[in-house]
């Protein structure tokens, strides 16, 4: 497809994904896959980390991922050998950072929400864990690692993002 972002299949991006019996039985594991691909962890190790850190139960989504990742960033906790840093500007009304940005339209300054396509064009290099409504995935050097729809839906509004570094 012409209008889609570069995409990498989960089984290619995550170590041990194809051989993992846990991965074969899982659903709603987008956070596990995002952590595994962003931090270069094996799927089973990422699965255990997400279960221990965020209280994720098998075949259920991960609740409290945003606040949990912010806490990990604040405490400078390392995942594997890497740490995270929240992206965006700090809001005085919320504990979360805003990914909105200002543009001038016909001479009037207006605020826009960051979309996946805009994010990749602004940050073409680096590894990021990002969230959209009820979903998380990884963007690594401009390539989407997650579900195929994540690369197709360029105009999906991003909620939170963290840069992964050493």
**In the predicted model, is pLDDT for residue 139 greater than 80?**
yes
pLDDT tens digits, one per residue of 75-127: 999 998 999 999 988 876 666 788 888 888 889 998 889 999 999 999 999 99
Considering the domain boundaries, does residue 63 fall inside one? yes
Across 124-138, average pLDDT: 96
Total number of domains constituting the chain: 1
Considering the domain boundaries, does residue 104 fall inside one? yes
Considering the domain boundaries, does residue 2 fall inside one? no
The rounded percent of the chain whose pLDDT value lies above 70 is: 96
Considering the domain boundaries, does residue 149 fall inside one? yes
Q: Where are the beta strands (DSSP E) in the chain?
A: 7-8, 83-86, 89-90, 97-98, 101-105, 108-112, 127-132, 135-140, 143-145, 158-165
Considering the domain boundaries, does residue 52 fall inside one? yes
Domain span at 64? 7-165
**In the predicted model, is pLDDT for residue 24 greater than 90?**
yes
Non-local CB neighbours of 78 within 8 Å, separated by 6+ positions: none
- The pLDDT of residue 2 is 61
Considering the domain boundaries, does residue 69 fall inside one? yes
Considering the domain boundaries, does residue 48 fall inside one? yes
Considering the domain boundaries, does residue 1 fall inside one? no
């Amino acid at each position: 497809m012409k209008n889609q972002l570069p995409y990498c299949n989960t089984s290619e991006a995550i170590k041990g994904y194809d051989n993992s019996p846990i991965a074969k039985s899982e659903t709603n594991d987008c956070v596990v896959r995002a952590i595994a691909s962003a931090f270069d962890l094996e799927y089973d190790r990422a699965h255990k980390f997400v279960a221990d850190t965020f209280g994720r139960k098998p075949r259920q989504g991960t609740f409290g991922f945003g606040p949990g990742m912010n806490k990990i960033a604040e405490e400078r906790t390392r995942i594997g050998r890497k740490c995270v840093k929240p992206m965006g500007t700090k809001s005085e009304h919320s504990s979360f950072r805003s990914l909105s940005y200002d543009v001038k339209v016909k001479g009037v300054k207006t605020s826009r929400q960051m979309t996946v396509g805009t994010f990749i064009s602004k940050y073409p290099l680096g590894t990021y864990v990002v969230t959209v409504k009820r979903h998380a995935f990884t963007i690594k050097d401009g390539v989407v690692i997650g579900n195929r729809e994540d690369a197709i839906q360029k105009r999906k509004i991003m909620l939170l993002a963290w840069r992964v570094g050493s």
